[in-house]
Amino acid sequence: MGSGAHRWRVAVVAAAVVLVGGCSSGAPAGGSAPSSAAPDAGAASGDTSPGPAASADAGGPALAEGAVAPPDRAADAFTYSPALVPEGANLAVYATPNGTSTTVRLEVLGLLPERGYAAHAHANACGPTGDAAGPHFQNRQDPAAGPGKPSTDPAYANPQNEVWLDLTTDGDGDGEATATVPFTFTDRAPASVVVHEAMATATEPGKAGSAGARLACLTVPFPKG
């Protein structure tokens, strides 16, 4: 465990140096607090995401982070199913543009242990019900989809055209997912990340992108441009 935690810390420091040294957009100095909670749990259980984007960073301060609460008390972080996403579970989302691609990371703390959860970036902010978040954000929008008719065509509902953040929790209910998509958010950007009941997102024609009930939602102000 010690070496895993150490390695993670080195990666954070390296990312901070890149941000400070190579980015003129006024990114806050590295060493910020929000990301310090996750590595212990992740490293302890070997839950490091095997995602394709280990080299892209998605570090820095979280775009959004919050402990979920039921809709009557939630502002930006909702649980619609406390049995599957317990009140107080923490969701955090990071995003880093890298030229023509974007790396997005979801970190969760305190979900059910050793369980898969599908998750995606959605078009709208969270609200009193899971439906408020609207459809999945798509870079190229499926012309066959519309209100009440989600995109299920694998040509559009796929993890290169949407931001899929499916993850599996460790024994503490903690986990993370990183996705690198081949686009940036220009005129449109997602506004939330939704955690679903299915353990993984479907990919077959007619079902692609579907992942069951919406369990939890975090409003995320993904920046455009």
> In the stretch 29-68, what mask flags binding to Cu ion with x, by CB under 5 A?
----------------------------------------
Per-residue buried b or exposed e for 140-168, using 16+ beta carbons within 10 Å of the residue's own CB: eebeebeeeebbbbbebbbbebbbbbbbb
By CB under 5 A, what part of segment 162-201 binds Cu ion? 194
Shortest Cβ distance from residue 165 to Cu ion (Å)? 9
Q: Quick one: 12 or 194, whose CB is closer to Cu ion?
A: 194
Amino acid at 67: A
**Minimum CB separation from Cu ion for residue 41, in Å?**
24
Interaction of residue 91 with Cu ion, rule CB under 5 A: no
Per DSSP, which regions of 9-144 are E strands?
64-67, 77-79, 90-98, 101-109, 116-117, 119-122
Q: What is the 3-state secondary structure (H, E, C) of 155-188?
A: CCCCCCCCCECCEECCCCCCEEEEEEECCCCCCC
Number of Cβ within a 10 Å radius of residue 46: 9
Nearest CB to Cu ion, comparing residues 8 and 183: 183
The single-letter DSSP state of residue 125 is -
Considering the complex, state which of residue 30 and residue 120 has its C-beta at the smaller distance from Cu ion.
120
Closest residue to bound Cu ion by CB: 120
Nearest to 165 by CA among 59, 91, 224: 91
For Cu ion, the closer of residues 19 and 217 by Cβ is 217
> Shortest Cβ distance from residue 149 to Cu ion (Å)?
15
Site string for Cu ion, 111-150 (x = CB under 5 A): ---------x------------------------------
Contacting residues toward Cu ion, per CB under 5 A: 120, 194
